[in-house]
């Protein structure tokens, strides 16, 4: 989130959750796993990372006091929402180099787009279109738009999930 605050000047809650979705989706399609790994909920405005959304709402409401983020109550996004700012510099060493590259690529490609445009783009994805509203989105649906193009990543995701399921059963 800090890197998004530094690179996206008008980062409000809607734009943040859309960018997180695009970052996770792109990484999942390339490497078979998401960066954030949150549960995505199919909401009216597109896929929303559930825990990240709750965290951002807590920051907005002043409930998350130890966060490296805060809300600039005097600045509003073009949509009229408070803008998130970072209190500290970004510590990128928690991310692998390929993750940082993916984050930067998505922020460069989508960071300047308006939230309604990001919503429209996410509505074109089968992950949103083929899911029932207000329910979790199956990560398999992230691959539904171009299954052949991302076959290796899909297979890696399935194997990783089988490993997690096996460990959970022990």
Q: Which one-letter DSSP state was computed for residue 94?
A: G
Confidence class of residue 42 from pLDDT cuts 50, 70 and 90? very high
Query: Which pLDDT score is estimated for 169?
Result: 81
Task: Judge whether 141 and 48 are in contact, CB under 8 Å.
Answer: no
Q: Average pLDDT of the chain?
A: 91
Q: Domain count for the chain, please give it.
A: 1
Residue 114 lies in domain: 2-169
Query: Which pLDDT score is estimated for 63?
Result: 87
54-67: pLDDT as tens digits: 999 998 888 877 78
């Amino acid at each position: 989130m800090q890197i998004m605050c530094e690179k996206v000047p008008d980062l409000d809650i809607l734009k943040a959750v859309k960018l997180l979705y695009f970052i996770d989706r792109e990484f999942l399609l390339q490497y078979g796993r998401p960066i954030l790994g949150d549960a995505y909920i199919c909401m009216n405005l597109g896929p929303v990372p559930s825990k990240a959304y709750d965290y951002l709402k807590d920051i907005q409401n002043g409930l998350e006091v130890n966060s490296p983020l805060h809300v600039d109550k005097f600045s509003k996004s073009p949509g009229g929402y408070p803008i998130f700012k970072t209190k500290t510099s970004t510590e990128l060493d928690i991310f692998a180099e390929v993750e940082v590259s993916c984050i930067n690529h998505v922020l460069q490609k989508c960071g300047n787009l308006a939230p309604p445009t990001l919503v429209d783009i996410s509505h074109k994805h089968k992950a949103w279109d083929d899911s029932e509203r207000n329910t979790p989105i199956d990560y398999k649906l992230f691959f539904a738009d171009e299954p052949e193009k991302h076959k290796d990543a899909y297979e890696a995701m399935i194997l990783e999930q089988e490993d997690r399921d096996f460990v959970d059963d022990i």
